[in-house]
Structure formats: C-alpha cells, structure tokens
A and B are shown apart, each in its own frame.
Chain A
Amino acid sequence: MKLSCEVKVHHLTRVEGHGNINISIKNGVVKKAQWEVVETPRFFEAMLVGKHWENAPYICGRICGICSIGHTLASIRAVENAFAITPSTQTANLRLLLKHMETLQSHILHLYFLAAPDFLGTGSVLPLAKTHPLVVQRALRLKLLANDACDLIGGRRLHPTRTIVGGFTMLPEKSELEQIRQRLLASVPDLLASAELFKTFVIPDFIRETEFVSLKGDTDYPFIGGELISTDGVRKKEEEYLAMTNEYCTEGFTSKLSKLSRPSFAVGALARLNNNFTLLHPTAQEISQSLGLAPVNHNPYMSNVAQLVECVQVTLDSVRLIDTLLASPWQEARQPVKAKQGAGVGAVEVPRGILYHYYAFDRQGKVIKADCVIPTSQNHANILHDIEALASQYARIGKQDREIELLAEMLVRAYDPCISCSVH
C-alpha cells in the first residue's frame, strides 16, 4: 500500500478556464489539498458602469462562451425587474424553450466531450470517434438539435441576437418550431441510449454532506426566476440573493467564493434535482431512479447523472412548450421598454447552477452598479472542500498518484466548472 503521493495539475484540461489541483499526502496524512483558480479577471461589473441599460444584456452575455444564453436571459430579467416589466406569456415560453435548449447542448457537451473520456479511459473525445463512432455520432446529433433550436429562437447559439429587454427582435416560423418538436420527440431514444451508457460507467464512491442551493419551483421544475432554497432549510426571495451568496475573496482564487449555512455549498444540476425532484417529469424521475439518483444525494460525481436526467427533463418539457406556442397565433414579438430609476435582480438556473445578475439604474436608465454572481464561483469553495475530503479518504486507503490525480480531476470536471465565467 502506498501512503504518500504528490499530485500537481497545472491548468486542468477538459474544463472551461484555468484552474490547478495540488495534493500532497505524506505517510497517510494530507499535507495539502488545494483547488486554485488562476484565471485572469475581466471586470464586467466595472465595464457596465455609466452604460445605458440596453448595453447590459448585450455585453453581459459575453461573460460566457457556453452559457451566453443564460447570462443574456438573467441580465434581461434583472433589467425588466428594475423597470417593472412583466414579459408576456409568449415571451416567457419562448425564453424558457431557448433556456432548455442551451441546457441540453451544454449538458451534452459536458457529458460526452468533457466527462465521458475519463470513464472510457481516453484523454479526449477524439479517439472515441474511432473506437465508439455510434456514441460520438449520438452526442453530435443531440448537440446539433439543441444548437439548431437555439439558432432558431435566439438567432444564434452563441451570444444570441434576438433576445432583448421586452421580448425578441423577431419570432421563429411556426413550421420551423414544428420541425424542432419532431426532432425532439425523435431524440428520446438517443437520450435513453445515453442513460444506458452512463449505467455502464463506474461512479466513484465518495460522499460528503453538502448544502445544495437552487431555485425552488412551485409547479414546474424551475429555471427562470422564483424563490431561492437550500437543502439546509434556508429560503429567500430572488431579490435577497446577497443573503444566499455571501461572496468573499481569498488567497489562491482570482474568483470570488460563496458560503451559506456551512463553509461552502453547491449549485448545479445535482442541487436543482435535490431541491425539486418531485417536479421532474415522471419519465425523468424514472430514469433518475434507474441510475441510482434520488434526493438528497451527496455524491458530487452524481452531478453527471443529474445532468443526464435534466437532458430528459428539458427535452420533454420543450415539447410541451412548443405545443403551447403552436396552439395560439403569434402575438407581438416585443413590448415597449420605459427606463426608470431603480434596481433589479434576475436569477436564472443556467447549466452549471443558479446565476444572479443585479443592476441599479439612475433616472436615465444608466447603470450605477452591476453585480453578477456566477454558479462556478459559488461552487469553488465546495470543490476545494471536496478535494480535501477526497484526499483524506484516499490517504487512509492508499492509492497510486495517478489514481488520486484522476479522481480529483474527475471530481472537478463533475462540477462542469466554467472558470472564466467565475472570474468575469
């Protein structure tokens, strides 16, 4: 048995952004177990100061290259809340549909391109194109569907063009929505096959009791706006987000970190599912249980499974949304916007967890103050504490350096971190 090890991962691969893992175990005792975030900050919150409200969603969508739609929608919601604008039902449904399709494309990207290579023993998805062509083709098919739907509704899959405060610049053709509906229905076998694939993966056995934070749905599995909840029993209103996030800075992180009832908490698919399991579509619940995932689950590696369950959830819910949209004639795409002095918060569940945008405006509708709290920055402290617990669990058992390194890398990847986002 080996009781000492050194793990140094500089710029971890297959995650978005730059982070390092350092673990040092000597004679069965953990000397060091670190998660470092070294990404360069971009200062979006400062950039916006003095800018007219119209700039906020356009610029802030560019915080992230994966969830630009989520950032744009959170930003729009914050502006609309500040100006007391309620989106029409049609706009709300289209936004949720767009959000669902981003969730699907992001989860599939993470599950197949970033996470799966670890479980299949390769360094990337590239060799899988040769060894597992059907798996790669399936992933591409699902991702293409989600991205095509984002193009159709948002105008563009990355940094959307049609999404604006007040609604959309233009609407999709109904016949095109119908085509997406058909493709969504046809994609169900691909999702079921994905579930079968994940059943063959060995999920590492690691449990650390964690507080999970997300939106709380009333009647639907929540994605856009609503109350905030934690598994430790904290409940807050959307506008009280600061009491839920408690950001602070510390050495070793260019990102901010968060805490709530404990020194750290987790957000993301697993948190959403832990807090809203009964609101999942029955089929999604069934698949979740068949994969051994029921609330409250404290194994961070199960985030992968939670993402898979959410792929099923958003696909089935998208069919429902399209049916609703197709059932009535198109209304106006956008409503007029009148700026006013005040502040607003937009909370949106983006693929990696709950995201908040906050803006305060002066009488002309210019930004006085901006604040964005990113899912990955809320997760950083939890990742750090998980790595510490993982290191001490394996320090006792004794593992090879490479095994611990891989488990630590897989742990970080399970959070699907978006590091450049967290250091916006």
Chain B
Amino acid sequence: MSELSYLGVPLVRPKVGFFELSSCEGCQLQLLNNEATLLDFLNLVEIVNFREGMSERADTYDLAFVEGSVTRKDEIARLTEIRKNAKILIALGSCACFGGVNQLKNRFRDLEWVKKEVYGDFPIETMEVHPLKDFVQVDLEIFGCPIKKEEVERIVTDLVLGKTVRHPEYPVCMECKANQNLCLFELGEPCLGPVTRAGCDAWCPNNRRGCWGCRGPAEAANLSQLEKIMRTYGFDSETILDRLECFGGFASFTETIRSPAKKTPTRRKKA
C-alpha cells in the first residue's frame, strides 16, 4: 500500500478493530456494503480485527468500533478488554449508543417474564440492556440504525487527519426541509424529525417514512412542542411513545409521556 499523506504531511494509517456485542451486526456490514468506495476506505486504515470478515486477529488497535449493546455479563468483560486495548473507542450505531431496539425488553421491568415468554422454562442468561457508556468510557458515538456509511467514512477520515469530529446539533427536520420533501405530517404520517439529531440527510422521510428517532435527540430538542404537533395531527400518546422508545435515545423523555399505570422501563443512569 502506498504512503498516506495530507497537504504533504505523512499520515499514520491507524490500526482498526471491529467488534460486536448484542446486535444484528448490520452496522459492520454497512461498511462492506459500500462497494463503490470500499477499496479506498480499506487503503485509509489497517484492519487488524474484523471477525465477520477475516480470520486473522490482533489485540492492539488505535480505533475500536464496537457495535451492539450489553445484554449479558460476559459482554461487560469483553468490552472492558477492548477498552484496554484501544486508544479510541467508538460506539457504532444506536444499539451501542443507546441500547437500540434491544432495550425495548427493559420496559417490562420483569426479566423473568421476558425469558419465559421466549424460552419457557429453559434456563437462559440475560440482563437489562445497557449502552456501552454505562460501563466504559466512550470517546465517540456514531448514531443511527443503521449507521450511514458515508458518515462513518467521513468520521474515520477526520480521525486519520486529526480533525475534530462534530455531529449536527440541529434536527432531521432541517435536512428534510432542505431536501424539499412534503411534510409527512401533511401526509398523515407520524414523524420524529422535529426532535431527532440530523446527520442522516432525512434518510427515512426522503422515502416517505416518518422518522423513528434512531439517532437520538438533537441538541435542545423540544419534546413538549413535538407532542403538541403530534396531537394536532391526531396521533395518540401510544403512537408517540412507540417511536420515542424504539431505540432508547429518548429514554429520559419517555418516562414523562408514559402513563404511570403501564409497565415501564427502569430509569437509565446518566453517563
């Protein structure tokens, strides 16, 4: 491979490892799904650990991308080990950042019932679902279910160049408007675009699908205003809650909307 340089300054190709805890492994696969630029991307980094794609493994790496959430005790140990070996630990995707869809099981507050519903009396080990930051220091979060591969490539490029990585502070609604889409509320679709962090270029609304908030809240997200809009367009609390609680990014807000009589998730400790 040729030497990397930027503005004439030689750059070090970082050693990169990909790891997965409880997840669909789709975020890692998104990288292989980037056929057009995959070979360029591979030239930018040295992949030393990628179980899903290669047999060779190494235990020291500059960047560790960790996908998935923590749902069993042995995953805490694996995560701690990865943290020890990595210079920079990156939470890859909504499961790693917020618990993702996995955390939907937390809302029952009764793990024994959850286990029995799926496995009957067969003994199976699980625990309440947590994002990575509940156990280790996370240096960078990449949001989304799935992650947007262009965004990952930009972030990795920034890391290689030593640039600061910044996420948009504004909501998906801004990107959607810029794309000149019809507002989904006008089409009768519920949408979390007004409160969800941008960066996906309004991926779902572009396809006439309301936003489900997979990237978590934008800075200064106005949830009470969202609730007001949703009610104006005739959506009930359950529809709002279904979307807000789907990926865990809005965990701190869902408590206030949920009626006290319902089974509710345990409150997550703030990292």
Contact = CB atoms under 8 A, between A and B. Distances in A.
B24 A63 contact: yes
A162 B207 contact: yes
A141 interface: yes
Given A46-B117, A59-B104, A123 B56 contact: yes
Given A43-B126, A65-B28, A147 B35 contact: yes
Contact of B55 (A14, A45, A47, A66): A14
A161 B204 contact: yes
Nearest to A364: B238
B185 interface: no
Contact of B26 (A51, A54, A159): A159
A155 interface: yes
A55 B243 CA distance: 9
A313 to B, nearest CB: 22
A126 B20 CA distance: 20
Interface string B164-208: 000000000000000000000000000000000000000110111
B120 to A, nearest CB: 8
Interface string A41-64: 111111101011011001100111
A140 B38 contact: yes
Contacts of B53: 13-14, 113-114, 124-126
Nearest to A49: B117
Contacts of A63: 24
A65 B29 contact: yes
Given A40-B71, A46-B118, A249-B122, A68 B42 contact: no
B259 interface: no
Contacts of A399: none
Interface in B222-271: 238-239, 242, 246
B157 interface: no
A16 B47 CA distance: 18
A240 B39 CA distance: 47
A58 B124 CA distance: 26
Contact of B54 (A41, A55, A126): A126
A62 B24 contact: yes
A421 B28 CA distance: 15
A158 B22 contact: no
A169 B25 contact: no
Contacts of B208: 162, 169-170
Size category of the binding interface on chain A: 35 or more
B152 to A, nearest CB: 13
A40 B208 CA distance: 34
B209 to A, nearest CB: 4
A420 interface: yes
Contact of A65 (B25, B47, B204): B25
A159 B72 contact: no
Contact of B207 (A15, A140, A155, A421): A155
A254 B75 CA distance: 15
Nearest to A136: B39
Nearest to A17: B25
A161 B71 CA distance: 27
B30 to A, nearest CB: 6
Interface string A141-160: 10110010000000111110
B212 A43 contact: no
B134 to A, nearest CB: 16
B146 to A, nearest CB: 5
A400 B102 CA distance: 42
A221 to B, nearest CB: 26
B161 interface: no
A92 interface: no
A72 B128 CA distance: 26
B57 to A, nearest CB: 8
Given A55-B242, A158-B26, A141 B35 contact: yes
B124 A161 contact: no
Contacts of A185: none
B71 A65 contact: no
B242 A51 contact: yes
A65 B27 CA distance: 7
A325 interface: no
20 contacts: A11-B51, A13-B57, A14-B51, A14-B55, A41-B71, A41-B119, A42-B105, A43-B117, A45-B117, A47-B104, A47-B105, A59-B101, A59-B104, A59-B246, A124-B54, A143-B33, A147-B33, A158-B30, A159-B145, A249-B124
Given A13-B54, A43-B117, A170-B207, 19 more contacts: A13-B51, A14-B54, A41-B118, A43-B115, A44-B101, A46-B118, A47-B104, A59-B246, A64-B26, A65-B24, A65-B26, A66-B26, A126-B53, A126-B54, A140-B39, A147-B33, A155-B207, A158-B33, A420-B24
Identify the 5 closest CB pairs spanning chains A and B, nearest first.
A65-B26, A124-B54, A155-B207, A123-B55, A249-B122
